[in-house]
């Protein structure tokens, strides 16, 4: 096990379609939408690069030429650390493709994030990796509580996964220890975004698990134990105390929130 994970940044188009924010900005890919003076992707690369200075960084995108001129991307390319890979039909397929390019088992541990996760910081990502290595999880999902998200900004998120003991949102950071952990990615085979599409919860996790979730029978711990049983791999939650890390650029509202927080935190 290495102290430097392989990094995968997902920067493709969801369902291959032009994102509304990209259309508004007049760019072909959402990752090129400017925010606080830089494209979304550049903020993420600037956090990832120094966090793991020896790590290979894979960027999955439908057209790699679209981002080749970004300074942070060009710096990674010049250092020999960057691998641009073509995004596939879906999230899971894109992850599998990147792992294959990385040499299979050589890709692990693997830290996955998204190109719209602009508030991510180097120290935060290092902490995710460090704590994941120390955990018993094969796969780790980073989460933030409703209270911490609203403390970062009262309009940071509007939808939460409600459990009997806590309400949470995901931070678009996932960690896989080994190839076995890939079983956990099956939950995203249909695209994820479960808070917006409860039918996907039923398909990914099973109808009885959906019923238990909707009736509020689960604590967060019980839910992740059920998920682990469903996929035959230990999936564990990691709660970050800083709710800002759960605010990505998903729409006009979260764009405005992220822009405010970027200015306050990164200048």
How do residues 250-260 score in pLDDT, each as one tens digit?
999 999 999 99
Domain map (residue ranges) of the chain = 6-266
Cα 210 from Cα 207, distance rounded (Å): 5
Sign of CA pseudo-dihedral 97, 101, 103, 109? negative
**Which range (71-75, 100-104, 201-205) has the least confidence?**
201-205
Q: What's the token pair of residue 162? A: 């409600």
pLDDT class of 211 with cuts at 50, 70, 90: very low
Q: What is the pTM of this model?
A: 0.90
- In this structure, the strands spanning 34-35 and 38-39 are antiparallel
pLDDT class of 202 with cuts at 50, 70, 90: very low
Give the pLDDT mean for 241-249.
98
Cα 76 from Cα 52, distance rounded (Å): 12
Choice between 48 and 13, residue whose per-residue pLDDT is larger? 48
In this predicted model, what pLDDT tens digit does every residue of 138-177 receive, in sequence order? 999 999 999 999 999 999 999 898 888 999 999 999 999 9
Q: Which residue has the tokens 């917006």?
A: 196
CATH number of 6-266: 3.90.550.10
pLDDT at 1 > cutoff 50:
no
Long-range contacts (CB closer than 8 Å, 24 or more residues apart) made by 30-35: 30/115, 30/116, 30/249, 31/61, 31/66, 31/67, 31/115, 31/116, 32/66, 32/67, 33/249, 33/255, 35/118, 35/249, 35/255, 35/258, 35/259, 35/262
pLDDT class of 197 with cuts at 50, 70, 90: very low
Residues 6+ apart with CB under 8 A from 100: none
């Amino acid at each position: 096990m290495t102290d430097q994970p392989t990094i995968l940044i997902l920067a493709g188009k969801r369902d291959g379609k032009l994102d509304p924010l990209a259309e508004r900005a007049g760019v072909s890919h959402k990752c090129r939408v400017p925010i606080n003076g830089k494209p979304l992707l550049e903020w993420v690369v600037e956090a990832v690069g120094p966090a793991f200075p020896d790590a290979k960084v894979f960027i999955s995108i439908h057209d790699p030429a679209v981002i080749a001129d970004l300074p942070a991307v060009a710096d990674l390319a010049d250092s020999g650390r960057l691998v641009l890979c073509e995004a596939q039909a879906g999230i899971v397929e894109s992850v599998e493709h990147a792992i294959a390019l990385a040499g299979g088992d050589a890709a692990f541990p693997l830290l996955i994030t998204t190109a719209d996760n602009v508030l991510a910081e180097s120290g935060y990502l290092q902490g995710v990796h460090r704590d994941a290595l120390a955990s018993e999880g094969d796969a780790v999902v980073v989460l933030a509580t409703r209270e911490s998200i609203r403390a970062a900004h009262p309009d940071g998120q509007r939808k939460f996964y409600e459990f009997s003991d806590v309400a949470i949102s995901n931070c678009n950071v996932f960690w896989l220890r080994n190839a076995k952990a890939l079983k956990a990615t099956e939950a995203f085979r249909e695209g994820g975004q479960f808070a917006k599409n409860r039918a996907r919860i039923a398909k990914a996790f099973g109808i009885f698990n959906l019923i238990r979730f909707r009736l509020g029978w689960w604590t967060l711990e019980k839910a992740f134990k059920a998920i682990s049983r469903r996929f035959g791999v230990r999936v564990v939650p990691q709660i970050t105390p800083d709710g800002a890390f759960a605010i990505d650029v998903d729409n006009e509202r979260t764009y405005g929130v992220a822009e405010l927080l970027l200015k306050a935190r990164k200048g």
